[in-house]
Homo-oligomer: A and B are copies of this chain.
Amino acid sequence: MMINIPSVIEISGTVAFTISGAFSAMQKRLDVFGVLIMGFVTAIGGGTIRDVLIGDTPVNWMRNYETPLIILGTGIATIFFKKYIKTFKTTLFLFDALGLGLFTIIGTQKGISAGLNPGVCVALGTITGCFGGVLRDILLNNIPLIFQKEIYATACIVGGTLYILLLNDLDTDIVELLAVAVVCAIRIIAVKYKLSLPKFYA
């Protein structure tokens, strides 16, 4: 994990997801440990489920020092600077969108490396991007947000599909950038215009 551009974005995503988990935990009045664990679970949950499903174990965060340390530092900082961080709501949302895009593409790429079929690769990307938040919501006893609010997983599905479709025609770096940008753009537009998927009642 050298400090290069994707790594910087990956760290930003991890930081944003950690903050999101820690904030949700503070809203439910968990203790310090609970807040840190929720930050951790939100940040690594998606990648962990992905690695377990494809059998790439020990799972990713267990194989490096950096990720756990970044999450720990971010979690502690979130507790100390919570009022300050609140004022950066927009910045945080942008990081979250960026993280979502990057995590989605990382997950999709892992599926391709494992030789899985395209639909499953997109599913793995979506799981990587979204399921940290799903675990967060389950642990805090909420119905997962991604099933209810603005377009979220859909952005991952579109971005992952685009990545796979363009992969053979364009340079890998360009396709990566494009796919991440599309996920971010859909997410930002959805939140800005309060777009959501239609609902059906049984």
Give the residue name and chain of the B residue nearest to A202 (CB): B26
Residues of chain B within 8 A of A91, CB atoms compared: none
Residues of chain B within 8 A of A57, CB atoms compared: 52-55
A38 contacts partner chain B, Cβ-Cβ < 8 Å: yes
How many residues of A are counted as interface, with CB atoms below 8 angstroms from the partner's CB atoms? 59
Q: Mark A116-154, 1 if CB is under 8 A from B, else 0.
A: 110110011000000000100011111110111000011
Number of copies: 3
State whether A35 and B141 are in contact (beta carbons under 8 Å apart), knowing that A54-B62, A120-B62 are contacts in the complex: no
State whether A35 and B142 are in contact (beta carbons under 8 Å apart), knowing that A25-B147, A30-B148 are contacts in the complex: no
- Whether the pair B34, A147 counts as a contact (CB closer than 8 A) is yes
Residue from the list B27, B30, B53, B138 in contact with A147, Cβ < 8 A: B30
The 9 closest A-B CB pairs, nearest first, are A55-B57, A34-B147, A26-B202, A31-B197, A30-B147, A32-B197, A54-B58, A62-B120, A27-B202
